[in-house]
């Protein structure tokens, strides 16, 4: 019995429990998408390879099984590089399958010819081309396995155009079974007891939870650790919700102070990169003791020499620490001087946010907008959030109660991920948690990267709520009258500030163009009404375009997560 390359690819992916494929089809990969659907894989046709690749990577983070991004040769492949890099830097599993020129035309200047395997090596854990149809299932198994074993990341498979419709006899194909689940490793016992004794002696401990902890489903053990030991904790942006943000031990609202004064820091699947200011002074104490827990040996000891290194799966190692603390029964006192200082700072910062949130002036500021969003969106929704100020303030103002339910620009600080992430989250939610909403909160600039994916959302009828927080620009913008004045000086290309976008752009009309519901709002009342209507209608995609003060910014560096220079 004969089988085509396209069928082999689709069946091998299905055999490895791959459920979702996103892409933009064309010659030579159309048949691969058709075969994938026939094999029971859900195919989502996107409008740009970049968004398709972001979507596939988010599936990997949300489910622990890579999504697939399918692209054509040359430019199609190149447009997906952003998603590959973003996945690898975020440590999310992803498979990209790219068509490439026919083998017999190599070096001849074939249609869209490009050295894709070599180019892919920079962005992926594995970049390979199967040497024959017979080995396709084995190559796909290796790619899926590589993407999820150890530190997760992206893998690229190059498929020559002539492979797609080429046929081979089934009997000569090297079929392989589904790869085993990733092995779970534990830290050495001596490292665990060393860590426990360092923590026991600390006066000002701080637990930092990273998205590695969310990915490893460590939430139950981490909550137990926080409760058992009474430790203050700080989540990195995408780790929000591993322990609910509303937990009394969450010190996110006193972030700078907690980092600056902690004498012992326990890193649970978080890296000492720019997001945590590299663990160095002046943001940290010179003599801070770091206990590092990570799945990747090469990460241990980066930037700061640790006091204890625990190599292993976050969930398994947390369990080891729990067992150790049950033996020595450590309970950090809640009436300590450290807790008193932290609570004072939290109260102070929350008061200041509240004052800004309750301002009645129009146009609204960010804090007012987020205050109303927080009051009205479902507690268990998946939050996708990107932009400059929109993401920074959204992170502090919108609580997460469950793990893996905040998706943002991530370690790579990638703008333009929002709609791809939202589509992925909605596809996964539809299958696994029907009724769970996806709320995608975008800056107007961030929305522009992949705004046309609104058509994809409407085509697949995904009830995503997009909220565009519109300040007419990147960081800041101009209002309509200032814009008009500016144009009097001549050509906009020579006189308009580079951060400006067109004032009062009606982004909501993009949604209504494709049959979803669009709302244009300027006041808190209009915002509340639009939110209530969108949350109540669980069937229809919606976009709320919220006009805010073009000069609204975050309050001066109480939450100095990103300074301008970092964006």
Domain final residue, candidates 172, 197, 231: 172
Distance of CA 560 to the CA centre of its chain: 20
pLDDT value for 552? 87
Share of residues in the chain with pLDDT > 70 (%): 98
Query: C-alpha angle with apex 243: 241 to 248, nearest 5 degrees?
Result: 115
When the pLDDT of each residue in the chain is averaged and rounded to a whole number, the result is 96
Are residues 439 and 532 located together in one domain of the fold? Answer: yes
299 in any annotated domain: yes
State the pLDDT confidence band at 553, using cuts at 50, 70 and 90.
confident
| Closest by Cα among 53, 18, 148, 49 to 91 | 148
- In a domain, residue 566? The reply is no
Q: How distant is the alpha carbon of residue 496 from its chain centre?
A: 33
Query: What pLDDT band is residue 564 in, cutting at 50, 70 and 90?
Result: very low
Residue 381 falls within a domain, yes or no? yes
In the chain, % of residues over pLDDT 90: 96
Residues 45 and 158 in one domain: yes
Q: What is the pLDDT of residue 329?
A: 84
Q: What is the predicted pLDDT for the residue at 559?
A: 37
Residues 31 and 155 in one domain: yes
Whole-number Å distance between alpha carbons of 504 and 208:
40
Same domain, 288 and 409: no
Mean pLDDT, residues 149-161: 98
Predicted confidence (pLDDT) per residue in 396-421, tens digit: 999 999 999 999 999 999 999 999 99
Q: Average of pLDDT values for 257-267?
A: 98
**Separation of alpha carbons 96 and 287, rounded Å:** 44
Dihedral of the alpha carbons of 52, 505, 521, 405, in degrees to the nearest 10: 20
Q: Which of 172, 200, 233 represents a domain boundary (last residue)?
A: 172
Do 404 and 529 lie in one domain? The reply is yes
Beta strand spans in 308-430 (E)? 308-311, 382-386, 406-408
Q: What is the distance between the alpha carbons of residues 278 and 416, in angstroms, rounded to a whole number?
A: 26
CB atoms within 10 A of CB 419: 30
Whether residue 397 contacts residue 441, with contact meaning beta carbons closer than 8 Å, is answered with: no
Residues in the chain: 567
534 CB-near residues (< 8 Å, 6+ apart): 465, 517, 519, 542, 544
Residue 560: pLDDT above 50? no
**pLDDT confidence tier of residue 554, bands split at 50, 70 and 90:** low
Biggest alpha carbon–alpha carbon distance for the chain: 75
Q: Give yes or no: residues 512 and 366 share one domain.
A: yes
Do residues 399 and 442 both lie within one domain?
A: yes
Number of H helices, E strands in the chain: 23, 19
Q: What pLDDT sits at residue 35? A: 98
Cα distances (Å, whole numbers) of residue 300 to 251, 290, 293, 497, 555: 25, 10, 8, 43, 35
Give the CATH number of the domain where residue 72 resides: 3.40.50.970
285 and 401 assigned to the same domain: no
**Which residue, among 428, 347, 340, 353, has the nearest Cα to 384 in the 3D structure?**
428
Question: Are residues 198 and 326 both part of a single domain?
Answer: yes
Backbone dihedral angles phi then psi of residue 530, each to the nearest 5 degrees: -65, -40
Grouping H, G, I as helix, E, B as strand and the rest as coil, residue 164 is helix
pLDDT classification of 562: cutoffs 50, 70, 90: very low
How far apart, in whole angstroms, are the C-alpha atoms of residue 46 and residue 454?
Answer: 10
Judge whether 558 lies within some domain.
no
Backbone angles phi, psi at 101, to 5 degrees: -65, 155
Burial class, 122, CB count within 10 angstroms (exposed 0-12 / middle 13-18 / buried 19+): exposed
Residue environment code for 43-53, b if the CB has 16+ CB neighbours within 10 A, otherwise e: bbebbbbbbbb
Looking at the predicted structure, is the pLDDT value of residue 558 above 60? no
Cα distances from 454 to residues 293, 415, 464, in angstroms, run 40, 17, 9
Residue 545 has pLDDT above 70, yes or no: yes
- Asked, for residue 348, whether it belongs to a domain, the answer is no
In a domain? residue 259: yes
Q: Is the dihedral of CA 491, 493, 494, 500 positive or negative?
A: positive
Average pLDDT value for residue range 508-533: 98
Whether residue 21 sits in one domain with residue 120? yes
CB 537 within 8 A of CB 517: yes
Output b/e per residue, 347-384; b: 16+ Cβ within 10 A.
eebeeebeebbeeeeebbbbbbbbbbbeeebeeebbbb
Mean predicted confidence (pLDDT) in 102-106: 96
Q: What angle do CA 286, 290, 296 make, to 5 degrees?
A: 130
213, 222 Cβ separation under 8 angstroms: yes
Local structure of residue 401 (DSSP, 8 states): -
Residue 519 lies in a domain: yes
Residues 422 and 367 in one domain: yes
Q: Report the b/e string of 1-33 with b at 16+ CB within 10 A.
A: eebbbbbbbbbbbbbbebbbbbbbbeebbbbbb
pLDDT at 231: 97
Residues 492 and 370 in one domain: yes
The string of pLDDT tens digits covering residues 315-371 is 999 999 999 999 988 899 999 999 999 999 999 999 999 999 999 999 999 999 999
* Cα–Cα dist 68/144, whole Å: 10
Domain count, the chain: 3
Arithmetic mean of pLDDT, 101-110: 96
Cα angle, residue 551 at apex, residues 549 and 555 outer, rounded to 5°:
100
pLDDT single digits (tens) 312-324: 999 999 999 999 9
CATH of the domain at 297: 3.40.50.1220
DSSP state of 500: B
* Spatial separation of the C-alpha atoms in residues 192 and 176, rounded to whole Å: 38
pLDDT at 22 over 90: yes
Q: What is the 3-state secondary structure (H, E, C) of 240-254?
A: CCCCCCCCCCECHHH
Task: Give the range of the structural domain holding residue 201, as residue numbers without chain letter.
Answer: 189-343
* 383 within a domain of the structure (yes/no): yes
């Amino acid at each position: 019995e004969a089988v085509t390359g396209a069928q082999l690819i689709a069946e091998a992916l299905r055999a490895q429990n791959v459920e979702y494929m996103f892409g933009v089809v064309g010659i030579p990969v159309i048949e691969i998408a058709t075969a994938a659907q026939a094999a029971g894989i859900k195919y989502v046709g996107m409008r740009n390879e970049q968004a398709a690749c972001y979507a596939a990577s988010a599936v990997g983070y949300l489910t622990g099984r890579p999504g697939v991004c399918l692209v054509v040769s040359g430019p199609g492949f190149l447009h997906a590089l952003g998603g590959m890099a973003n996945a690898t830097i975020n440590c999310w599993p992803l498979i990209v399958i790219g068509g490439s020129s026919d083998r017999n035309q190599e070096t001849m200047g074939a249609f869209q010819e490009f050295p894709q395997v070599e180019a892919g090596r920079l962005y992926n854990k594995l970049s390979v081309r199967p040497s024959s149809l017979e080995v396709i299932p084995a190559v796909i198994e290796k790619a899926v396995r590589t993407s999820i074993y150890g530190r997760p990341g992206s893998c690229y498979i190059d498929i020559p155009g002539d492979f797609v419709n080429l046929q081979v006899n089934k009997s000569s194909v090297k079929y392989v079974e589904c790869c085993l689940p990733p092995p779970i490793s534990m830290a050495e016992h001596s490292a665990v007891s060393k860590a426990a004794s360092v923590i026991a002696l600390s006066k000002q401990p701080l637990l930092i939870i990273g998205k590695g902890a969310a990915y490893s489903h460590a939430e139950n053990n981490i909550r137990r650790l926080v409760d058992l030991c009474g430790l203050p904790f700080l989540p990195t942006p995408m780790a929000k919700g591993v322990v609910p943000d509303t937990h009394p031990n969450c010190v996110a609202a006193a972030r700078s102070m907690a980092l600056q004064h902690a004498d012992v820091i326990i890193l649970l699947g978080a890296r000492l990169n720019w997001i945590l200011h590299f663990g160095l002074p002046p943001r940290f104490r010179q003599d801070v003791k770091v206990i590092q827990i990570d799945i990747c040996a090469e990460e241990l000891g980066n930037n700061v020499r640790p006091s204890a290194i625990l190599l292993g799966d976050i969930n398994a190692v947390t369990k080891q620490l729990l067992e150790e603390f049950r033996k020595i029964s450590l309970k950090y006192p809640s009436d300590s001087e450290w807790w008193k200082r932290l609570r004072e700072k939290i109260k102070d910062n929350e008061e200041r946010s509240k004052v800004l949130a309750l301002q009645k002036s129009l146009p609204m500021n960010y804090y007012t907008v987020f205050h109303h969003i927080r009051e009205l969106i479902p507690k268990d929704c998946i939050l996708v959030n990107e932009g400059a100020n929109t993401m920074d303030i959204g992170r502090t103002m919108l609580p997460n109660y469950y793990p893996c339910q905040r998706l943002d620009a991530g370690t790579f600080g990638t703008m333009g991920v929002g709609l791809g992430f939202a589509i992925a989250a909605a596809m996964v939610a539809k299958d696994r948690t029907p009724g769970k909403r996806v709320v995608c909160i975008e800056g107007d600039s961030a929305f522009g990267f992949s705004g046309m994916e609104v058509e994809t959302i409407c085509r697949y009828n995904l009830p995503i709520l997009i909220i565009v927080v519109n300040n007419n620009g990147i960081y800041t913008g101009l209002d309509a009258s200032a814009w008009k004045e500016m144009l009097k000086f001549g050509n906009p290309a020579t006189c308009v500030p580079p951060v400006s976008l067109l004032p009062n752009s009606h982004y909501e009309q993009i949604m209504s163009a494709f049959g979803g519901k669009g709302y244009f709002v300027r006041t808190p009342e209009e915002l509340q009404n639009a939110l209530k209507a969108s949350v109540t209608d669980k069937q229809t995609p919606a976009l709320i375009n919220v006009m805010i003060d073009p000069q609204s910014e975050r309050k001066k560096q109480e939450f100095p997560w990103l300074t301008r220079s970092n964006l």
